[in-house]
């Protein structure tokens, strides 16, 4: 099973501001949906709460240290709550997943980065206020296999670049 991180990151590593994304990029949301559809999406509790619901067409796995945490709409086979990243990955493997997507937040990204096989990064060409950041990473350990640039337009408030990177083994 591939372990993939998917994130949009500003020029200073910002990924979140006050419980939401610091920008509105329609093309990035469409790419996120296209890539993750039919797969397990693993996230921390705060990321789940910022989304506010189970995303259709995907299996949601919420990682939390609170054993009693159970959102009303979260029930198998479309949603699970687990106590660790290891448990989340094992659940995805046991369900036959081929590529699990880690979608946030910052603490989860930091813990999964050493295990990740792929990074689907949207590099947003702006610096916005942020209170959650993507972990520092060494680009020397990764090989860029795809790069697509996008200008700002009426649907995307900032220019950005889609990047696909694979770990150099």
| pLDDT tens-place string over residues 25-67 | 999 999 999 999 999 999 999 999 999 999 999 999 999 999 8
pLDDT surpasses 90 at 142: yes
Number of domains in the chain: 1
pLDDT tops 90 at residue 109: yes
133 within 8 A of 106, measured Cβ to Cβ = yes
By the 8 A CB rule, do 89 and 100 touch? yes
pLDDT of residue 169: 81
Q: Who's near 45: CB < 8 A, 6+ residues apart?
A: 62, 63, 64, 66, 69
Domain range for 69 is: 2-167
Half-sphere exposure of residue 34, counting CA atoms within 13 Å on the CB side? 7
For position 67, what pLDDT does the model report?
86
Buried b (16+ CB within 10 A) or exposed e, 14-24: bbbeeeebbbe
- Give the CATH number of the domain where residue 27 resides: 3.40.430.10
Q: Write out pLDDT tens, residues 61-108.
A: 999 999 899 999 999 999 999 999 999 999 999 999 999 999 999 999
């Amino acid at each position: 099973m591939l372990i993939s991180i998917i994130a949009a990151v500003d020029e200073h590593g910002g990924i979140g501001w006050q419980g939401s994304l610091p920008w509105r990029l329609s093309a990035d949301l469409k790419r996120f949906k296209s890539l993750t559809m039919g797969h397990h999406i693993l996230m921390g509790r705060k990321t789940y709460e910022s989304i506010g619901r189970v995303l259709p067409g995907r299996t949601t796995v919420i990682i939390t240290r609170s054993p009693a945490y159970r959102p009303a709409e979260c029930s198998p086979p479309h949603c699970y709550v687990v106590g660790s990243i290891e448990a989340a990955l094992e659940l995805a493997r046991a369900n036959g997943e081929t590529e699990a997507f880690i979608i946030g937040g910052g603490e989860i990204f930091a813990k999964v980065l050493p295990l990740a096989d792929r990074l689907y990064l949207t590099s947003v060409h702006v610096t916005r206020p942020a209170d959650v950041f993507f972990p520092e990473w060494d680009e020397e350990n990764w090989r860029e296999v795809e790069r697509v640039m996008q200008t700002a337009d009426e649907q995307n408030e900032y220019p950005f670049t889609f990047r696909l990177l694979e770990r150099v083994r």
